[in-house]
Amino acid sequence: MKPHIVVFSGAGISAESGIKTFRDNDGLWENHSIHEVATPEAWQKNPELVLEFYNVRREQVLNSKPNAAHLAITELQNHFEVNVITQNIDNLHEQANNKNILHLHGEITKARSTANPNLIYNLGGPKISLGDTCELGSQLRPHIVWFGEAVPMIVPATEIIEKANIVIVVGSSLVVYPAAGLLEYAPIDSKIYVIDPSGEVSVPTQHKNITFINEKASLGLPKLAQKLIEEYA
Ligand code: NAD
């Protein structure tokens, strides 16, 4: 039987598309402390700075292209049932035509109402400004899960990973919770591959069947995809 594959991606898969991770940058995200720009407190204190920070990130995402790692997932999807659970807020999985994508931490190309979290809008352009409002008249904010906020998509993500035969972790330091805790839900007989050039990722799970591939995503993921296709497709 063909394996059901779950790809669990983090900021590192987009690094070679020119979008910086923050662990590789002394815990700063594009020169900002995450507390300054990616928390509810930051939004209360200085919404203009928060909006501007995400406006710049959004512009960068809109000018970025997927790399060989994103495209390798499309290739895997030609052969297997594959779900993508991503911690990334960029849209490079979508740009690569990946399917079955779940964004745990939101999407930078969307805005949402500060009055009703279920009012979510596709943004036509790169900017949200102070004074841009939802249909209820409330300020729009980035559709992002900030540090310290609940992660509503964690429950559907858990249900997906519980069905995996193979989990491919790519480009994640696995230190941001509850996302990293998802690995605990992978079946005990599933196989886990971890693609990360640092060689420093520690996987928070009891699993014994873990293979570390200490390579950049654009090399490691296409090679692994090829191997899985030869082995199982
Ligand atoms: P992280 O920044 O904590 O860790 C990035 C990991 O990627 C590191 O382990 C690093 O060694 C690895 N890496 C660096 N270059 C790589 C490459 N070329 N190929 C493969 N791996 C590489 O990222 P995280 O674990 O995703 O957690 C950070 C949080 O920050 C996420 O929740 C996300 O929402 C947010 N974030 C998102 C983006 C994005 O959307 N692209 C960018 C920065 C931060």
In angstroms, rounded to a whole number, what is the distance separating the alpha carbons of residues 159 and 26? Answer: 34
- 151 burial (CB, 10 Å; 0-12 / 13-18 / 19+) is middle
In angstroms, rounded to a whole number, what is the distance separating the alpha carbons of residues 10 and 83? Answer: 14
- At residue 206, what is the residue type? Q
- At residue 22, what is the residue type? F
pTM higher than the cut 0.85: yes
Q: What is the mean pLDDT of the chain?
A: 95
How many of the other CB atoms lie within 10 Å of CB of 147? 14
The per-residue pLDDT for range 32-69, each reduced to its tens digit, is 888 999 999 999 999 999 999 999 999 999 999 999 99
In the reported structure, the alpha carbon of residue 141 is separated from the centroid of ligand 1 by a whole-number distance in angstroms of 23
In angstroms, rounded to a whole number, what is the distance separating the alpha carbons of residues 171 and 81? Answer: 21
Structure tokens of 108? 């930078």
Cis peptide before 178 (omega within 30 of 0): yes
Best of 21, 151, 198, 221 for a ligand 1 pocket test (most atoms within 8 Å of beta carbon): 21
In angstroms, rounded to a whole number, what is the distance separating the alpha carbons of residues 6 and 165? Answer: 8
3-state SS class at 95: helix
The per-residue pLDDT for range 4-32, each reduced to its tens digit, is 999 999 999 999 999 988 776 666 677 78
Q: What is the pLDDT of residue 226?
A: 98
**CA angle 219–222–226, rounded 5-degree value:** 135
In angstroms, rounded to a whole number, what is the distance separating the alpha carbons of residues 27 and 150? Answer: 21
Closest atom, ligand 1, to C-alpha of 9: 26
101 C-beta closer than 6 A to ligand 1: no
